[in-house]
Structures are given as C-alpha cells and as structure tokens.
Amino acid sequence: METLFCFRSSSPVGPLFLAASDKGLVRLEFQARMMKLDSHTAELRESGPALAPYLSQLDEYFSGERREFSFPLDLRGTDFQLACWRALLEIPYGETRSYRDIAQAIGHPHAHRAVGMSNNRNPVAIVVPCHRVIAASGSLCGYGGGLDIKRKLLDLEHSNLGPFLPLGIGA
C-alpha cells in the first residue's frame, strides 16, 4: 500500500488539502470539494514537514513572488486527462485559454466538452492552472472551487503582472 503524505492549510482562497507521494504532488484541492482517495491503495499520513516545499511555493504564489511552480507533480489519470493537464501547464501566468484552445492543443479539436470534464477532474488545482481556462466567449465558467475563487486567482495573477520590457526598451 502506498503512503501519501497530506496536510491541510489555510490560503487566501480558503482551506486547501495537499497530498504528495515520493514522486511529487498528487493532490491540491479546495477542502470543500475534495475527491475521494482510494483507501485500499493509499494510506494517508499527516505531515506538515513533508508538504513544506509545496506550501512554501504556494505562499510565494499567493504573495505574488512566484509565477511558476518548480516542484515535481505525480499526476494520475487517463491518457486524455494527462494530455489536458499537461496543456494547462503550458498556459502562461496571467493568461487564459478557452476549452476549445486546449482541445486543439492536444490534437482533439472537437473535444472541448471532454476537456471541460478533464478540468473538472484536475487533482492539482492552482498548480495545474485550470482556473486559466474560460469559455470561448471570454466569460468565466466551470471551476471546482467555485467561480468566486476562479475570479480571485485570475485577479491575483493579473494584479501581479507588471510591465516586463525587454532590455533596452524604455531605457
């Protein structure tokens, strides 16, 4: 049986649940919407120290000091889900893409609804940034943490985008 280290933490967007294997972060979920872990294959062991590197980078993200996470992920899902989640990791900080954009990026241009379902099953919120996916119309839609949290995360990222001019421009 696999041991997953877990920890519950407060955050600016509410309580979070984190779980990590020896390979990397397995879960980062809003405590109000946690997916079940299979108790037959995984034993949860509470450990703040084991999750400290993840929590540190999350704190940096929420304070506007971090735009990309550098810790390892242990994503678990179907091949289609994994393709969707990898595409989400390619969305730059502070930018958004539509479900259709993600479907095209993974080579399934008509599968935007299936992309939405994969986003709904994303086990590593914030880090695998499904909050950066919006409707083709530009409106916010569908987010496991709720649209208010999706808006907060997008607002956080937009507020931390400063003017980054290439060297020599504006000097």
What is the torsional sign of CA 84, 85, 90, 94? positive
Count of beta carbons in the 10 Å neighbourhood of residue 14: 15
Reported as a single tens digit per residue, the pLDDT across 30-41 is 987 766 666 667
CA distance 32 to 144: 9
Amino acid at 123: P
- Taking only the tens place, the pLDDT of each residue in 134-152 is 988 888 888 888 899 999 9
- Of 147, 162, 141, 25, the C-alpha closest to 94 is 162
Q: CB within 8 A of 143, min separation 6: which ones? A: 130, 131, 149, 150
Which residues does the annotation mark as catalytic? Answer: 130
Range with the lowest mean pLDDT among 26-40, 98-112, 117-131? Answer: 26-40
Reply yes or no on domain 79-159 having CATH 1.10.10.10. Answer: yes
Q: Which CATH number, 2.40.50, 3.30.160, 3.40.50, 3.30.9, labels domain 2-62?
A: 3.30.160
Q: Where are the domains of the chain?
A: 2-62, 79-159
